Amino acid sequence: MHVNSIETFLEALRKELEVPDYRYEQAEQSYTSLGRWLHREASTVRQFDPQVYCQGSFRLGTAIRPHTDAEEYDVDSVVELRLLTKRDKTQQQLKAMLGVEIQAYHDAMAMVKPVREGNRCWILDYADGAQFHMDVVPAVPNHDQQYRLLTASFLDARWASTAIAITDRREPTYTLLTDDWPRSNPKGYANWFASRQAEVFERRQRAVLDSLRRQGLVTASVERLPAFKVKTPLQSAIMILKRHRDNMFAQELDLRPISVIITTLSAHAYNNQDTISGALFAILNDMDKFIVYDGAKWIVANPTDPMENFADKWNRDPKKKEAFDAWLRQARADFYAAAQAATFQDMANALIPRMGYAPSMRAMDRLTGGSRLLRAATGASAAAVGSVAAPSFANAERRPSKPQGYA
């Protein structure tokens, strides 16, 4: 047994962070139930062909456990009324119309906590034992306008077919009948993200299915195997980086780098590595190469809508860009130290300040069974992880002059 294996430790750490399968199933049941409600015979929106689907980290497979049982999972969903357009309703009218059905669903399901209104969504708070709430964003299709907008600017429009327009009560056009609505494309983003890891995902999906079949646990085809049953190195690396970020900025939440920036830059930097360590160190080394500075502003473009800049807040508040840079430097230092460690105990010690004491120690215990002897044992990490070299990170700030990798 090669106990000095950063890959082995990172795999154990990821298992401590991952969302249990039943939470994914619970989320799917929740938005499927809402979809059935909106399609019932008495529904006031049934004629508009409502489609309910998940978005965000649950859809991408990068969700992580809350720090404690007192915290909740945030399940993001969309209700797209596919037979409505921006010229049929104002944002306010669409949101109010859907709000009537959300309230009726809440009452029919005997939910105790009241429906809340967010800036973009309605929020359903489930019972305390469920440990999650669901944000429901009203939307209408926006693919035709999005395609015209992008092609007119000679930008990549390949993901435009799933574009939507959403409501936001902070927008000056919220009460107006206009084509000027906030844009989004969660399906397109999920498809882009999937394309960045397609080769590895397919191999892992078949391996998981073969393992389950050998154990007599499934007879399903690959097509019917839920995506959350498979974890790729890209997803695992992002989960680890998100928790590192959470702990580093626990006392400065307003400066915390947002997940969509970490996810987007990580997906750009990932190059089909087959191990978590390979993916993690490639991401840490290269993710800032995909941050663009055009001479006036910082840009992290939405790969499905290049006209949207995920880093727009960096330009309004330079401290947010400084916080991202500080986080990246710290993440490089911490995971470099862990990769250099001679024992599982030393790996845990290197990561405890930002990954947290409990998950780091539980990860170590997964590998050692709590044995003090194995915690302190040494070994050859290269043999255990396929000769993963210790990472080396450049210190110079990178400022590309033009976008790269946004295909």
- Is residue 380 pLDDT above 50, yes or no? no
At 3 the pLDDT is 37
The pLDDT assigned to 17 comes to 95
Domains of the chain (ranges, CATH numbers): 6-16+232-384 (no CATH), 39-193 (3.30.460)
Using the predicted structure, report yes or no on whether residue 16 has a pLDDT greater than 90: yes
pLDDT of residue 378: 52
**Residue 226's pLDDT band (boundaries 50, 70, 90)?**
low
pTM value? 0.88
For 34, other C-beta atoms within 10 Å of its C-beta total 21
pLDDT in tens, 322-378: 999 999 999 999 999 999 998 889 999 999 999 999 999 999 888 887 666 666 665
- Statement: residue 279 has pLDDT above 70: yes
pLDDT at 186: 96
Dist. CA 239–CA 61, nearest whole Å: 9
Q: pLDDT tens, 123-174?
A: 999 876 667 889 999 999 999 999 999 999 999 999 999 999 999 999 999 9
Q: What is the pLDDT of residue 374?
A: 61
Beta-ladder partners of 75:
134
Has residue 404 got a pLDDT over 90? no
What is the DSSP code string of 136-195?
Answer: EEEEEE-HHHHHHHHHHTT---TTGGG-EEE--TTSTTTTS-SS---EE-HHHHHHHHHH
How far is residue 265's CA from residue 288's CA, in Å, rounded to a whole number? 7
Between residues 295 and 394, which one has the greater pLDDT? 295
Q: Which residue has the higher pLDDT, 27 or 224?
A: 27
Strands 132-141 and 73-81: parallel
pLDDT at 317: 97
Q: How does residue 405 score in pLDDT terms, banded at 50, 70 and 90? A: very low
Residue 41 to residues 15, 45, 101: CA-CA distances in angstroms? Answer: 43, 10, 13
Q: What confidence score (pLDDT) does residue 128 get?
A: 63
Q: E strand or H helix at 320, and its extent?
A: helix 318-340
